[in-house]
Amino acid sequence: GEKRRLNLAAVLSYAPPVLLLDEVLVGQDPANAAFLLGQLTQLAAAGRAIVHVTHDPLTTLRYADRLVFLDDGRVIVDDAPEAAFARLEATGYQPYLPLYDLPAGEG
């Protein structure tokens, strides 16, 4: 977790207009995850574009202003968070597979 925060701090020192982040919250405890999300929210409010790849639907609902879902490299949904999840489910896709829904022996 500490290395990810250090990497992000190093990148931010260059003041890039766009941040491409891949699972930046992995390995962060709740306090550090909240801190990072707060910092990213401030950067977005200041006009920076942030593309954050994540498998955490709850984070996207709280912090994202737009979601894009891909399937085999093509966009299947591009919308505001709540509308995006509704559209995703309407197409037959599930936003995630909770562990309790896994068949026996696969979790």
Q: Where are the domains of the chain?
A: 1-53, 66-97
pLDDT given at position 103:
55
pLDDT given at position 107:
46
The span from the CA of 51 to the CA of 41, in Å, is: 12
pTM (whole model) above 0.85: no
77-91 residue pLDDT tens: 999 998 998 898 888
Tell me if residue 67 falls in helix, strand or coil: strand
Name beta bridge partners: 74: 71
Question: Which residue ranges in the chain fall short of pLDDT 50?
Answer: 99, 102, 107
The span from the CA of 56 to the CA of 85, in Å, is: 12
C-beta of residue 57 within 8 angstroms of C-beta of residue 85: yes
pLDDT given at position 5:
82
